[in-house]
Chain A
């Protein structure tokens, strides 16, 4: 069973990757502006924020849950970091405070779900509203903007000619892939998502790991918040609306099953890139904004249809 599952996984990823390349090929044929180094870096940079949020969501979804609060956590952690920066708190401390805010909110999600026995949908829906309201209260509805170059380096800087947001994205994915595939925590997530009862009976500390996974998701949302704040040179309390949907889309296009127990971060990265490339390509081609929404929705539906069609014979 294990080798078969492995095949299924790599087959799914391979398929998505082919999809990404085919998309790139089509764009390359249609516009000369697509396949240039600067545009590809541009796409990677535009994808990075969604991609980082989607990692956390992939973890949560693999464990059989869902997190709708990520967009609001982006806003909340963003304004916390931004307001500290404006009070001349040193950059590392402000960053840490933002990340801790996200982590703490995520852990609250986790505790509500495990010890409070709330369905993940309800708990995170609640926190989505609480965190959004918190961000609005904290800032009185106004954006907090204007930061030092030191902080903006997170968006404008380069490491070996690669933009910092892209570097952050790559580091996050390498770590996440390792955690998911090589650590007990990662394996437990699959076990819990596959069959929670069985995992519990085989001695997995289900509550602990489920709580932690929402914490991780909150932490990654906060990291995305920092990246977004640096990019816009501003933190808005209304930032991140609908980001949960983009992240869920990247995750499911990447082949992670919403039912839990199956998925990979590599797939999610490809999924996020497909969305980024699509949006970029449609802009380059000058396709109307309305048609863009139709196309992106259609791609999500097709990707999941394909996933279902692939899984059916096994059952």
Chain B
């Protein structure tokens, strides 16, 4: 009996070794193991999740820059965008692996702070990308980041608001799909949008609810919104995934083309929807440029060069 057990267990571990080993030699994988290409410094990019096209674009940009500058790149993420604890574990493990620099898109603006402090303690520079770390929490904990690279989400929200106002002629009922409450990114987009809309007394936000950045929730929440607020003529969704979900809800309610839908991120699918006419506009953020700028800055840091505290990445409205 026991030998049977031994056998199965060695199978488990053997299988694990095999998978790890396979991945090691996989040429397309960004995650090359240190030692396989010894001598080059390893830069880690930890994003929120890799099942969102936005972060895949960021990964692509980072990979391109890593090739250009001749560094190893490791890209890791939690399974789910909201899993702040798992993201923390991943970063702790990368610190143990002694990566040379960390580029992070925080899953939680405040929850990321303790692990930034840990990286500081062992002298690994931290580059924050796309979503800011909470300034106050960072100062309170004595943490330090090398730089922030991202778009001004507040400006993006304003662009979206101005577009909606223009499109509706300054009059109408608006709906908003928010991201996860307490996220810097979503909050800034919302602030910008609200501010732009507030300039028009004829515009009224009649309903505003979180759909947690997700497509299926965007569908469900907006379907419910349409039930309770049939007068809505425009929707601002804080990201494209929620907007794309909402478009399906609009179609199934038989209101296709009657509601102005504005998203955020300019993902390929959203661009296609704009061409098709089901979506009106989206705010373009250049995720791949964020990824490449992050790696570029990390490389500069490692070479001892000075870098700016904030590198803005352009933002524009696509309609």
Residues of A at the B interface (CB closer than 8 Å) are 11, 14-16, 18-19, 22-23, 25-26, 30-33, 36, 38-39, 42, 46, 49, 140-143, 145-146, 155-156, 228, 231-234, 236, 238-239, 241-242, 278-291, 293-295, 298-299, 302-303, 305-306, 309-310, 313
In the complex, what distance in Å separates the CA atom of A33 from the CA atom of B96? 7
Contacts of B296 in A (CB 8 A): none
Instruction: Choose among B74, B89, B90, B136 the residue with the greatest number of A CB atoms under 10 Å from its CB.
Output: B89
Contact flag A233-B93 (CB < 8 Å), given A22-B10, A285-B33: no
User: Contact at A286–B33, with CB atoms within 8 Å?
Assistant: yes
B32 within 8 A of A: yes
**B114 touches which one: A46, A231, A278 (CB < 8 A)?**
A231
In the complex, what distance in Å separates the CA atom of A291 from the CA atom of B16? 10
Which applies to chain A's interface (DSSP): helix, strand, loop or mixed? Answer: helix
In the complex, what distance in Å separates the CA atom of A303 from the CA atom of B96? 28
**A233 touches which one: B79, B83, B110, B180 (CB < 8 A)?**
B110
Contact flag A295-B97 (CB < 8 Å), given A232-B108, A287-B31: no
Q: Which 10 A-B pairs have the closest CB atoms?
A: A283-B93, A286-B31, A141-B181, A15-B5, A19-B9, A22-B13, A145-B110, A142-B182, A232-B111, A39-B96
In the complex, what distance in Å separates the CA atom of A305 from the CA atom of B4? 12
User: Contact at A232–B114, with CB atoms within 8 Å?
Assistant: yes
B1-51 residues at the A interface, CB under 8 angstroms:
1-2, 4-6, 8-13, 15-17, 19-21, 23-24, 29-35, 50
A-B contact list, 13 entries, CB within 8 Å: A22-B10, A25-B13, A26-B16, A33-B97, A46-B89, A143-B110, A233-B111, A238-B180, A241-B83, A286-B74, A289-B77, A298-B12, A309-B8
Closest to A237 in B: B181
In the complex, what distance in Å separates the CA atom of A302 from the CA atom of B8? 8
In the complex, what distance in Å separates the CA atom of A286 from the CA atom of B83? 19
B258 within 8 A of A: no
Contacts of A242 in B (CB 8 A): 80
Closest to B20 in A: A285
Instruction: Choose among A14, A285, A295 the residue with the greatest number of B CB atoms under 10 Å from its CB.
Output: A285
In the complex, what distance in Å separates the CA atom of A290 from the CA atom of B55? 14
Give the size range of B's interface with the partner. 35 or more
Q: How far is the CB of B19 from chain A (nearest CB, A)?
A: 6
**A42 touches which one: B16, B20, B93, B108 (CB < 8 A)?**
B93
In the complex, what distance in Å separates the CA atom of A3 from the CA atom of B109? 55
In the complex, what distance in Å separates the CA atom of A143 from the CA atom of B33? 36
In the complex, what distance in Å separates the CA atom of A26 from the CA atom of B85? 26
User: Contact at A232–B85, with CB atoms within 8 Å?
Assistant: yes
Closest to A46 in B: B89
**B15 touches which one: A236, A285, A298 (CB < 8 A)?**
A298
Contact flag A228-B85 (CB < 8 Å), given A22-B13, A36-B96, A38-B96: yes
Q: How far is the CB of A21 from chain B (nearest CB, A)?
A: 9
User: Contact at A231–B93, with CB atoms within 8 Å?
Assistant: no
User: Contact at B182–A284, with CB atoms within 8 Å?
Assistant: no
Contacts of A46 in B (CB 8 A): 89, 92
**A310 touches which one: B5, B31, B113 (CB < 8 A)?**
B5
User: Contact at A302–B97, with CB atoms within 8 Å?
Assistant: no
Contacts of A142 in B (CB 8 A): 181-182
User: Contact at A18–B181, with CB atoms within 8 Å?
Assistant: no
Q: How far is the CB of A141 from chain B (nearest CB, A)?
A: 4
User: Contact at A11–B2, with CB atoms within 8 Å?
Assistant: yes
Instruction: Choose among A19, A241, A283, A310 the residue with the greatest number of B CB atoms under 10 Å from its CB.
Output: A283
Contacts of A232 in B (CB 8 A): 84-85, 88, 108, 111, 114
In the complex, what distance in Å separates the CA atom of A186 from the CA atom of B99? 47
Q: How far is the CB of B134 from chain A (nearest CB, A)?
A: 8
Contact flag A49-B24 (CB < 8 Å), given A15-B2, A293-B79: no
User: Contact at A285–B111, with CB atoms within 8 Å?
Assistant: no
In the complex, what distance in Å separates the CA atom of A49 from the CA atom of B83? 14
B98-122 residues at the A interface, CB under 8 angstroms:
98, 108, 110-111, 113-114
Instruction: Choose among B5, B17, B34 the residue with the greatest number of A CB atoms under 10 Å from its CB.
Output: B5
In the complex, what distance in Å separates the CA atom of A285 from the CA atom of B20? 7
User: Contact at A283–B8, with CB atoms within 8 Å?
Assistant: no
B78 within 8 A of A: yes
Contacts of A291 in B (CB 8 A): 19, 23
**B6 touches which one: A15, A39, A295 (CB < 8 A)?**
A15
User: Contact at B82–A238, with CB atoms within 8 Å?
Assistant: yes
Q: How far is the CB of A207 from chain B (nearest CB, A)?
A: 36
In the complex, what distance in Å separates the CA atom of A290 from the CA atom of B23? 11
Q: How far is the CB of B39 from chain A (nearest CB, A)?
A: 15
In the complex, what distance in Å separates the CA atom of A119 from the CA atom of B171? 54
Contacts of B108 in A (CB 8 A): 143, 232, 234, 236
Contacts of A289 in B (CB 8 A): 50, 76-79
Contacts of A146 in B (CB 8 A): 110, 136-137, 140
Closest to A283 in B: B93
In the complex, what distance in Å separates the CA atom of A234 from the CA atom of B141? 13
User: Contact at B85–A49, with CB atoms within 8 Å?
Assistant: yes
Contacts of B136 in A (CB 8 A): 146
